[in-house]
Copies of this chain bind each other. A is one copy, B any other.
Amino acid sequence: MVEDSWVPPSVLLAVDLVILTLRGSRLHLLMVERGIQPYRGDFALPGGFLRDDEEGIVAAAHRELAEEAGLAAGTVHLEQLGVYGEPGRDPRGRVVSVAHLAIAPRLPEPVAGTDAAQAGWWPVDQVLADGFRVAFDHRRIIVDGVEMARAKLEHSSLATAFCASTFTISELQQVYEAVWGVRLDPRNFYRKVHRVEGFIVPEGSSRKPGTGRPAKLFRAGTQVSLYPPIVRSGEPLMSERTLE
A residues within 8 Å of B by Cβ? Answer: 1-2, 8-14, 49-58, 80, 82-83, 85-87, 94, 96, 98, 115
Contact = CB atoms under 8 A, between A and B. Distances in A.
A33 to B, nearest CB: 18
B87 A54 contact: yes
A9 B83 CA distance: 18
Q: What is the predominant secondary structure among interface residues of chain A facing chain B?
A: loop
Contact of A86 (B52, B58, B86): B58
A11 to B, nearest CB: 5
A86 B54 CA distance: 9
Nearest to A80: B82
A119 B162 CA distance: 46
5 closest A-B pairs by beta carbon, nearest first, are A8-B49, A10-B10, A9-B53, A56-B86, A11-B13
Nearest to A151: B155
A18 to B, nearest CB: 15
A9 to B, nearest CB: 4
B85 A13 contact: yes
B86 A57 contact: yes
A201 to B, nearest CB: 26
Query: How many copies of the polypeptide does the oligomer hold?
Result: 2
A151 to B, nearest CB: 8
A13 B9 CA distance: 7
B56 A87 contact: yes
A87 B53 contact: yes
A52 B9 CA distance: 5
A49 B6 CA distance: 11
Given A9-B13, A50-B9, A98 B85 contact: yes
A87 B9 CA distance: 18
Nearest to A155: B151
Contacts of A13: 8-11, 85, 96
A10 B54 CA distance: 11
A11 B8 contact: no
Given A8-B12, A83-B80, A94 B53 contact: yes
A53 B8 CA distance: 9
Given A9-B49, A10-B13, 15 more contacts: A1-B115, A8-B12, A8-B50, A9-B52, A9-B53, A10-B10, A11-B50, A13-B85, A53-B87, A56-B86, A57-B86, A80-B82, A80-B83, A82-B83, A96-B96
